[in-house]
Amino acid sequence: SVVNLISEVCLFFWVSVCFSMHLTQTAIQLSPYSGEKATFSVGGGQSSPEGEDPSVSLFREYLRLKTVHPDPDYDAALRFLDRMAEELGLPIKKIEVCPGRVVAIMTWEGTNPSLKSILLNSHTDVVPVFQEHWKYDAFSAFKDAEGNIYARGSQDMKCVTIQYIQAIRRLKAEGRKLMRTVHLMFVPDEEVGGHKGMETFVKHPEFQKLNIGFALDEGLANPGEAFTVFYGERNPWWITVHCPGSPGHGSRFVENTAAEKLRHVMNSFLDFREKEKHRLNTSECFTLGDVTTVNMTMVKGGVAYNVIPAEMDVSFDLRIPPTVNLQEFERQIKQWCKEAGEDVTYEFAQKHMNQNVTSTEENDPWWIALYYLHCRNLTLEKEIFPAATDSRFIRAVGIPAIGFSPMNRTPILLHDHNEFLNEQVFLKGISVFERLISALASVPACPAEA
């Protein structure tokens, strides 16, 4: 179905933009930084290792900044971004959304700044490492003989930050002027839930002022030839079920025990887990984002071998795709608890209810711009993001967002040991973004904007 849609969409774009794009492509190949100073410098005077592409050197420099939890060096990231803004000749605005938590925004004004803008979002923080499991220092950005760059953040998502910056640098160097304004946004704390970052910032007046029409944010690597784009996310529900029961001596058959109820609850949730796992494994077109995952993650209860406890609790991590009716699903949980026995109750530690997905309809102007990539021999696969990103906050305020980290032929290693990205894949991603940003910023004014 995807292929049918593409042929029509592509034809339209082929006629309208491919000629100019072709010229752009040629220009890139001949002179990547035409229009810039003769000595293209990255790293504030630091020179690139011999033969290395300056974009790769810049990427490795950024990877060495220790923006790692629990105590990220955000100041180092902000200093780096200040320098980038200066090199790009773009204004940079910083908004402290929470104490010590700053969102930075570089803005490239379009030729028609009254139109809705394009947001290029990336987070600056990375998750901790277990250094003993790494082949190299996780913050050295070591590059092996195959060009694989090892570092925390190489996939999630410092690659995308530098790709955005370099794509803008190239577009500017080529003298391109884009119609819509483009904002590059750099947010803190995504890896700890975004509460002091994007979640707070989307409610800030400065966010509204950006007048965003469409957002790009992080995606995931794809081990095959294709690139994955994410148009929605599953909703996380963290739930604890309380199973109270009659206490008593461990030598008797006490009626109405907590453990009997606990067993019933566990069976209901885990039977459902089996069904969903089966659904995923037997359908060719399903990915993890299309089914509900259930994992029992905590059990509490009991004080001694010979004492039947008065309560036992069990906790589950559920991730629910946007296609599920959440009210009905909660009724199901209520039913499981009721069947488990008297006074079994549940409570949520986290319960996300936002089911906004970004349109991938063939007549959606933003989606057409994305699918233009497909004409350029890139295969795109649409998926629901299996976990959570800052995109959920953007979609929740009604802005369409697509998660896209252009990494094909790459194992999914985010948050894993020995996270790496190959330099050729990284460099190709810059060209991909160059085309995509230019296509998005050229999306004609919709009737509401005119």
Active site positions, annotated? 125, 190
Minimum Å gap between C-beta 392 and Zn ion is: 12
Which among 84-92, 144-152, 155-163, 194-202 is the span making contact with Zn ion, rule CB under 5 A?
A: 155-163
Q: Which of 6, 124, 156, 385 binds Zn ion (CB under 5 A)?
A: 156
202: contact with Zn ion by CB under 5 A = no
Any binding-site annotation on 218? Answer: yes
Residue 125, interface with Zn ion (CB under 5 A)?
Answer: no
123 annotated as ligand-binding: yes
Minimum CB distance to Zn ion smaller for 91 or for 193 = 193
Q: What is the DSSP string of 258-301?
A: HHHHHHHHHHHHHHHHHHHHHHHHH-TT--GGGS-EEEEEEEEE
How many whole angstroms separate alpha carbon 223 and alpha carbon 411? 5
For residues 156 and 423, which CB has a smaller minimum distance to Zn ion in the complex? Answer: 156
The count of residues in the chain is: 450
**Angle at the Cα of 192 from the Cα atoms of 143 and 210, rounded to 5 degrees:** 90
- Binders of Zn ion among 255-274, rule CB under 5 A? none
Strand order in the sheet with 92-98: 92-98, 101-108, 182-187, 117-123, 212-217, 401-403, 227-233, 380-385
Q: Please work out the total of residues on this chain that contact Zn ion, with binding judged by CB under 5 A.
A: 3
| Other beta carbons within 10 Å of 206 | 12
Distance CA 5, CA 371 (A): 9
Q: Which stretch binds Zn ion (CB under 5 A): 68-76, 212-220, 315-323, 331-339?
A: 212-220
Q: Is 249 annotated for ligand binding?
A: no
Cα 26 off chain centre by:
31
Q: Which stretch binds Zn ion (CB under 5 A): 157-165, 220-228, 311-319, 346-354?
A: 157-165
Q: Kindly report the number of other CB atoms within 10 A of residue 398's CB atom.
A: 8
Question: How far apart (Å, rounded) are the C-alpha atoms in residues 357 and 290?
Answer: 13
Listed ranges 55-63, 105-113, 151-159, 235-243: which one lies at the site for Zn ion (CB under 5 A): 151-159
What whole-number distance in Å separates Cα of residue 129 and Cα of residue 344? Answer: 39
Report, in Å, the least distance between residue 7 CB and Zn ion.
Answer: 34
- 375: number of CA atoms within 13 Å, CB side? 25
Report in angstroms how near the CB of residue 156 gets to Zn ion at its nearest.
4
Q: Smallest gap, in angstroms, from Cβ of residue 89 to Zn ion?
A: 28
Largest CA distance in the chain: 87
Residue with smaller CB distance to Zn ion, 21 or 138: 138
Q: How far is the CB of 193 from Zn ion (least distance, A)?
A: 12
Least distance from Zn ion to the Cβ atom of residue 386, Å: 13
Locate all alpha helices (DSSP H) within 66-202, ordered by sequence: 74-88, 158-173, 198-201
Which residue is at the shortest CB distance from Zn ion?
A: 156
217 lines the binding site for Zn ion (CB under 5 A):
no
Tell me: is residue 313 an annotated ligand-binding position: no
Q: Which is nearer to Zn ion, 369 or 394 (CB)?
A: 394
Asked if 313 touches Zn ion (CB under 5 A), the answer is no
Task: Give one DSSP letter per residue of 50-65, joined into a string.
Answer: TT--HHHHHHHHHHTS
Q: Using CB under 5 A, which of the segments 61-69, 148-156, 207-215, 358-366 binds Zn ion?
A: 148-156
Q: Is 175 helix (H, G, I), strand (E, B) or coil?
A: coil
**Rounded Cα distance, 40 and 56, in Å:** 13
Instruction: For residue 233, state whether it binds Zn ion (rule: CB under 5 A).
Output: no
* Residue among 161 and 438 whose Cβ is closer to Zn ion: 161
Member of 174, 189, 199, 218 binding Zn ion (CB under 5 A): 218
Pattern of binders to Zn ion over 81-100, x per CB under 5 A? --------------------
50 is in an annotated binding site: no
Report the nearest approach of Zn ion to the CB of residue 191 (Å). Answer: 6
Q: Which of residues 157, 184, 210, 258 is near Zn ion by CB under 5 A?
A: 157
- Helix pair 54-63, 423-440: axis angle to 10 deg: 100
Residue 123 CB, nearest approach to Zn ion (Å): 6
Nearest residue (CB) to Zn ion, 32 versus 194 = 194
- Dihedral angle over CA of 435, 441, 447, 450, nearest 10: -150
Contact 340, 243 (CB under 8 A): yes
Q: Which is nearer to Zn ion, 156 or 233 (CB)?
A: 156
Q: What are phi and psi of 87, to 5 degrees?
A: -65, -40
Written as one letter, the residue type at 246 is S
Nearer to Zn ion, 218 or 434 (CB): 218
* CB neighbours of residue 440 within 10 Å: 26
151 binds Zn ion (CB under 5 A): no
Q: Detail the residues annotated as belonging to a binding site for Zn(2+).
A: 123, 156, 191, 218, 415
User: Under the rule (CB under 5 A), what is the footprint of Zn ion?
Assistant: 156-157, 218
Annotated binding site: 123, 156, 191, 218, 415
